[in-house]
Chain A
Amino acid sequence: MSNVKPGNYTDSGSERSTTISHAENNTQQLKGEVLITSMQDSLKLGLVPINIYNDEEIYRLELERIFLRNWIFLAHESEIPNVGDYVQRSIGQDSFIVVRDSQGKIRVHLDVCRHRGARLCVGDRGNTEVFRCPYHGWTYDTDGNLTGVPNRTQAYQGLKLDEWGLVSAPRVESYRGLVFTCLDPEIMSLEDYLGDFRWYLDIHLGLSPEGMEVIGDPHRWNVNADWKSGSDNFAGDSYHTQSLHRSILEIGLASKSAAGSGGSPNDIHVTECSGHSTSIRRNDPGSVFYWGYPEELHMTFSKSDLSFEQRELAERSVVHTGTIFPNLSLIHIGGTDDPAKPIAAWFSLRQWQPRGPGKMEAWSWTLVPKEASKEYKQRAHRVAVANFSPSGNFEQDDVVVWAGVARAGRGAYASHIGLHLNFQMGMEGMSQARQMTDWVGPGVVYDSNLEEGVQRTFFNSWLKSMVR
């Protein structure tokens, strides 16, 4: 075992921090498997080694053990509404074509010609009946079948076309418009993977009878931070808003109930919900707010198929953030781009794509209820962009601190001393958060958002994938 003594360099004096595994070799760096093994002890104590945020071996293992084995979000069905529509998406370093085939079914193909490996997809999105490899001219239909091999009689007479179709993802399933794939054929169904978390996800995706739709194209931007920073923050870091986003509060772009200090009796944290988690800020009981959607949409929402309890929660809701393991996060919130203008609500999906140790490409989609007016959709997108996007008044600041974590994570000294980060908020003796026994929804739910079980949930899921 390696050196894991977090108590030595903090003044917390917590007894539990000093009791975890002892060093056999103080100079051995925490690397790869050793880091993972050590986390089985440290995470129980709410401690996470900083090096996992920027480590070559951890990154390589994550691509294999997390991104090849879990359900990964790829697209929203509204991005490819017509037969032949495709978008190019990725999982780790692998590129995939997500296409609606001739029967209207969504298929996911590895964007690699089976002959020499050249890419087939022209551009990020488009519409096509056929994917033609530029190298030697092999062609595939949208189902992935190899349909054409130039000079076949002279050159490739014995080639069995049905053996050389595109490599298609073994599992592709949708849930209320969200298209996921899993590269492990043995995985449970998407519904089971989302599990109890569907109760919360349905509140967003089933809010309006017609469902949600994506506006335009997703934002994409390169961030010098690890993908896990996005996932752990959106899992429910309710503690950071009052500090990191203080500028927003100062100039009046967000209310204190949306972005102020945590700890209001209306705030709850949902942890260990089938491996996923969410943080919820609400208005007082009886309030009908729906994140700030205009009143004409409230009538529409009342026709959706949410349960009484789900609707009651939706009515009072101010902000939900959450992370579906591993790298799909959500935020449902109202905001404005001008303190003098009323707030508008929107729903955003964001994905933290691993692009190397300590590097990610962030993706963000704006979604709105299909029934909303054209004017409202445009307004909601403007407000979304002004808050959560590369130029977003909130999000500008998030990535800066995440970059700092990745920077620290590559440090040899941090590794040498086994520097651990504190995710202990809400653990015994730490905060006033109490588990709720009368909560109407699933998960292990706390009556305060000043606790970090939501983020420990993310790391528990991470560890579960990394050790198996």
Chain B
Amino acid sequence: MIDRQIKDEIEEFLFTEAEVLDDRKLKAWLLMLTDDIEYVIPTRVSRDRDSDISQFSEESYHMFDDIHSLTARVARLGTEFAWSDNPAPRTRRYVTNVRLIQASEKGASVKSNLLLYWSIDESQHLISGERHDNFRRENGGWKLSKRTVLLDHVVLPTPNLATFL
């Protein structure tokens, strides 16, 4: 029963987060993260399916950020010289298949699927991946404390990652 409620709360968080990011309220998004957030997108390679080695690198990343570097990215995108973000990209995040892995009153570990439609100028792209998120309850509300995005791409389809997954 408690798990059901936590799952509902986390889902609501994820849907709200998608809206905040799609509406480009990046400073508001930073407030949804804990101060010790670890935000990681490992690189991926294609491998023999029977290989013992993970397709996801433990050494190299598309992003490996903490709250300070995320804040710097948001500050940069907020300047009038962030050409990668202008004209305004059109994004839509589809967050689905939310699975509660572990939960308590204080924290939760959740997997979900992400499909990001990303369009700027005339170009249009889809980025697909699985999120592994940890949440922590702070002052009565949930905050994201860790996110690992496992991409379904070995070659990113987008000319840049001027957005957050």
| Chain A residues close to B by CB (< 8 Å) | 122-126, 215-225, 244-248, 250-251, 253, 337-341, 361, 366, 378, 381-382, 385-386, 389-393, 395-397, 399-401, 403
Contacts and interface: CB of A to CB of B under 8 A. Distances in A.
Given A341-B68, A395-B160, A381 B61 contact: yes
B130 to A, nearest CB: 18
Given A337-B69, A337-B72, 20 more contacts: A123-B48, A124-B46, A216-B61, A217-B45, A217-B59, A219-B60, A220-B154, A221-B158, A222-B156, A246-B79, A247-B76, A250-B76, A253-B76, A340-B68, A366-B60, A381-B60, A382-B69, A386-B72, A393-B72, A399-B159
A250 B158 contact: no
Interface string B37-66: 000010111111001010001111111111
B157 interface: yes
Interface of B: 41, 43-48, 51, 53, 57-66, 68-69, 71-73, 75-77, 79, 81-85, 121, 123, 154-162
Given A125-B45, A385-B64, A339 B83 contact: no
Contact of A217 (B43, B75, B84, B157): B43
B21 to A, nearest CB: 15
Contacts of A122: 47-48
B153 to A, nearest CB: 9
B72 A251 contact: yes
Contacts of A222: 155-159
Contact of A216 (B43, B65, B83): B43
A391 B161 contact: yes
Contacts of A396: 82-85, 160-162
Nearest to B50: A122
B59 to A, nearest CB: 3
Contacts of B66: 338
A248 B83 CA distance: 11
A124 B46 CA distance: 5
B155 A221 contact: yes
A123 B45 contact: yes
Given A219-B62, A221-B155, A253-B72, A391 B45 contact: no
Given A251-B75, A381-B64, A386 B69 contact: yes
Contact of B61 (A245, A248, A385, A393): A385
Contacts of B155: 220-222, 361
Contacts of A221: 155-160
A381 B59 contact: yes
Nearest to A401: B83
A247 B81 contact: yes
B81 A390 contact: no
A216 B62 CA distance: 11
Contacts of B45: 123-125, 217
Nearest to A362: B159
